[in-house]
Structure 1
Amino acid sequence: MVEDKVMIMTGAASGIGLGIAKAFLNKGAKVVLADLDKDKLNQEVAQLKIQGFDCIAIQVDVTEENEMPQMIEETMRHYGRLDILFNNAGLQHVTPIESFSTEKFRQMVDIMLTGSFIGTKYVLPIMKEQGYGRILNMSSINGVIGFAGKAAYNSAKHGIIGLTKVAALETATEGITVNALCPGYIDTPLVRNQMEDLASHRGVSSEQVLEEVLFPLIPQKQLIDIQDVADYALFLCSDGAKSVTGQAILIDGGYTAQ
Structure 2
Amino acid sequence: MRSLSETSSVKQAGGRLMDKVAMITGAASGIGREIALTFAREGAKVVIADLDQQAARRTAAEIDPTGKRALGVAMDVGNEEQVEIGMGQAIQAFGRLDVLVSNAGVQIVGPLVEFEFAKWKKLLSIHLDGAFLTTRAALRQMYKQNSGSIIYMGSVHSKEASPLKAPYVTAKHGLIGLAKVVAKEGADRGVRANVICPGFVRTPLVEKQIPEQAREFGISEAEVVKNIMLKETVDGQFTTVQDVAETALFLAAFPSNALTGQSLVVSHGWSMQ
Candidates 215, 227, 239, aligned match of 1:224: 239
The residue type equivalent to 1:182 in the other structure is C
For structure 2, list consecutive stretches of 5 or more residues without a partner in the other structure: 1-15
Shift of 1:196: 6.0
**1:214 alignment counterpart:** 229
**1:68 alignment counterpart:** 83
Aligned 8 A contact 1:235 1:241 in 2: no
CA distance in 1, matches of 2:150, 2:33: 17
Moved more, 112-121 or 122-131: 122-131
Q: In the alignment, is residue 166 of structure 1 matched against residue 181 of structure 2?
A: yes
Q: In the alignment, is residue 148 of structure 1 matched against residue 163 of structure 2?
A: yes
**2:5 alignment counterpart:** none
| Equivalent position SS for 2:174 | helix
**2:97 alignment counterpart:** 82
**1:128 alignment counterpart:** 143
CA distance in 1, matches of 2:205, 2:128: 21
For structure 1, list consecutive stretches of 5 or more residues without a partner in the other structure: none
The residue type equivalent to 2:270 in the other structure is Y
Candidates 176, 187, 198, aligned match of 2:202: 187
Aligned 8 A contact 2:80 2:133 in 1: yes
CA distance in 2, matches of 1:182, 1:29: 23
Q: In the alignment, is residue 32 of structure 1 matched against residue 64 of structure 2?
A: no
| Equivalent position SS for 2:230 | helix
Candidates 30, 35, 50, aligned match of 1:15: 30
| Equivalent position SS for 2:49 | strand
| Equivalent position SS for 1:95 | coil
| Equivalent position SS for 1:122 | helix
The residue type equivalent to 1:17 in the other structure is G
Give TM-score, length-normalised by structure 1: 0.91
**2:3 alignment counterpart:** none
Aligned 8 A contact 2:22 2:46 in 1: yes
Render the CA deviation track for 1:24-45: whole Å, top value 9, x for unaligned: 1111111000011123222322
CA distance in 2, matches of 1:203, 1:51: 50
CA distance in 2, matches of 1:26, 1:240: 19
Moved more, 191-200 or 109-118: 191-200
Tell me how large the CA RMSD over aligned residues is. Answer: 2.3
| Equivalent position SS for 1:31 | strand
Q: In the alignment, is residue 55 of structure 1 matched against residue 94 of structure 2?
A: no
Shift of 1:205: 6.8
Moved more, 194-203 or 165-174: 194-203
| Equivalent position SS for 1:8 | strand
Candidates 106, 131, 135, aligned match of 2:121: 106
The residue type equivalent to 2:135 in the other structure is T
Shift of 1:120: 0.9
Moved more, 33-42 or 3-12: 33-42
Render the CA deviation track for 1:36-86: whole Å, top value 9, x for unaligned: 112322232232224998211000111111221211111111101110111
Shift of 1:200: 8.9
Shift of 1:194: 3.8
Aligned length: 257
CA distance in 1, matches of 2:111, 2:256: 40
Give TM-score, length-normalised by structure 2: 0.86
Shift of 1:91: 0.1
Alpha-carbon spacing, 1:247–1:75, altered in 2? closer, same or farther (3 Å) = same
CA distance in 1, matches of 2:180, 2:106: 23
CA distance in 2, matches of 1:217, 1:51: 45
Render the CA deviation track for 1:177-201: whole Å, top value 9, x for unaligned: 0001111111324434544666799
Shift of 1:150: 0.7
Moved more, 49-58 or 16-25: 49-58
| Percent of pairs with identical residues | 37
